[in-house]
Chain A
């Protein structure tokens, strides 16, 4: 119990980072890896850690869907318009978009797992399919994040202009309920 009480919660995203959209996305990826580490740990526990499970559910209900919209409806279309032929961006984006649609299914399964554990007030280790579901989700995330960090974000840094990044930043903020006017904030 004491061990559990000491366990730190998921770090909230520093909202200032919204001013630098590519850094924001990078920081979110770091957080996604953290979630995977937490899930892997939770999958071995027999006691129900309710706050930890709820935190993961929140991530799947709010953070992850927003992150996918940030990429699918914002960063990726912008890259399609800005990239040069030698970037061969379409191949990479195609793979990532396919991952994103797989993410939805994999994430739904993880969320369902958390909800079952809460309902039964048990640890994930007591649910027979927990190991496989979590391992699948984490494997998908690991490769996906590696590709985005190593290929997409560096290309974005190279091809997007300051005004692209500014517009991206405003939309990332708006998606999270923050209205940013040019230069100042409300």
Chain B
């Protein structure tokens, strides 16, 4: 069973070299990705593949429910390294409809340690409880919460000291919020991109629901 993966690897590397003999040699010398991807760990959302980028082009951080937690040392290390050293130009927060993490945060069911990780999503749902409850279909409620979760991460990133320092230095850096649907393989731009502190302020003031 597991051997199949090693075989797949042989075939993948061989195919690459057949098309471009110098491919791995070149790749091993440096990585200079322009993008940092913050996505969900869900196995159906393969970052590089859905945006058609090759190895070396996308710096990837994935966790359950695509969070950018301001006190997570793993995430902060990725963020600081990608901004200060790799000097990425774009940070993409990509959520996906039907996210199991978001769904779990919206129910009372207990899963263990993960409930603590998902606390920020549960808090977000709580904050918008009356609006979310007005959405009668539960799957739709989960999807709306998935979009809101992406926006929360974009806003939080916009207020992150590493990001603010980069902007203060005049470094070009944009943060984008996208959502993916596993049902059709397509991305949707949530149009919440920010590229300077003023844009973050404006986004924070934008209503979450039409009647907010």
Q: Which residues of A contact B (CB under 8 A)?
A: 69, 72-74, 76-77, 80-81, 83-85, 87, 89-90, 93-95, 97-98, 101, 167, 171, 174-175
Q: Which residues of B contact A (CB under 8 A)?
A: 97, 134-137, 139-140, 143-144, 147, 181, 183-184, 186, 188-191, 210-211
Q: Are B136 and A94 in contact (CB under 8 A)?
A: yes
Q: Are B211 and A171 in contact (CB under 8 A)?
A: no
Beyond known contacts A80-B144, A84-B210: 8 more, CB 8 A cutoff: A74-B188, A97-B140, A101-B137, A167-B189, A171-B184, A171-B188, A174-B184, A175-B186
Rounded to whole angstroms, the CA-CA distance of A90 and B208 in the bound complex is 13
CB distance from B77 to the nearest CB of A (A): 33
Q: Are B188 and A97 in contact (CB under 8 A)?
A: no
Q: Are A171 and B139 in contact (CB under 8 A)?
A: no
Q: Are A69 and B136 in contact (CB under 8 A)?
A: no
A-B contact pairs, 14 of them (CB 8 A): A72-B143, A73-B97, A80-B144, A80-B210, A81-B190, A83-B210, A87-B210, A89-B210, A90-B134, A90-B135, A93-B140, A94-B134, A94-B135, A101-B139
Tell me the interface secondary structure of chain B in the complex.
loop
A101: B residues at CB distance < 8 A: 137, 139
Rounded to whole angstroms, the CA-CA distance of A72 and B140 in the bound complex is 8
A87: B residues at CB distance < 8 A: 210
Partner of B147, one of A72, A77, A97: A77
Partner of B136, one of A72, A81, A89, A97: A97
Q: Are B183 and A73 in contact (CB under 8 A)?
A: yes
List 10 tightest A-B contacts by C-beta distance, closest first. A97-B137, A94-B136, A85-B211, A73-B181, A85-B210, A97-B140, A175-B184, A69-B183, A171-B186, A98-B137
Q: Which residue of B lies closest to A79 (CB)?
A: B210
CB distance from A152 to the nearest CB of B (A): 14
Rounded to whole angstroms, the CA-CA distance of A84 and B190 in the bound complex is 17
B136: A residues at CB distance < 8 A: 94-95, 97-98
Q: Which residue of A lies closest to B191 (CB)?
A: A81
Q: Which of A76, A81, A84, A89 has the most CB of B within 10 A?
A: A81
CB distance from A104 to the nearest CB of B (A): 11
Q: Are A73 and B147 in contact (CB under 8 A)?
A: no
